[in-house]
Amino acid sequence: MTLVIFICALATVVTLVYVFYLPGTLQLGPEKTQAAYLRERKEVIYDNLRDLNFEFKAGKFPESDYQSMKTSLEEEAAALLAEISRLEETGRKAVFTTIRKKGFKA
C-alpha cells in the first residue's frame, strides 16, 4: 500500500515539474508596435470583406445581412485607417522635432 502511495506521489511531482518548469531562457517573438498590430488588423478586415463579398455572390447571405455586415466592416476599416494615419503623423512630427533639436534643417 505504501509503495502505491509513493509511486502516485512521485508521478504527481514529476507531472507538476514537467508542466510548470520554465527553462532559463524563453524564446519570445518580435515585439509588435501598435501600428504593426493595426496594419495586421486592417489586412484581416480586408480579407473578411473579400470573403463576405464572395459568399454574398454565392447566395449564402440575404441582401439585408450582407449590407449590415459590409457596413460594419467598412466602418471598422475606416476607423483603423484613421488611427494608422494618426500614428504615422505623430511619428513624423516626432522625427522632425528631433531633427530640429539637433540643429539640422529640413
Tell me the residue range of the domain where 59 lies.
33-106
In a domain, 90, yes or no: yes
pLDDT the model gives residue 105: 57
Q: Which three cell numbers stand for residue 96?
A: 522632425
In a domain, 55, yes or no: yes
pLDDT the model gives residue 33: 85
How many domains would you assign to the chain? 1
In a domain, 7, yes or no: no
In a domain, 74, yes or no: yes
In a domain, 59, yes or no: yes
Burial 11-24 (b: 16+ CB within 10 A, else e): eeeeeeeeeeeeee
Q: How many CA atoms lie within 13 A of 34 on its CB side?
A: 10
In a domain, 82, yes or no: yes
In a domain, 18, yes or no: no
pLDDT the model gives residue 28: 77
Cα–Cα distance measured from residue 40 to residue 68, given in angstroms and rounded to the nearest whole number? 23
Positions of the chain with pLDDT lower than 70, given as ranges: 26, 94-96, 98-106
Share the mean pLDDT of the chain: 87
In a domain, 19, yes or no: no
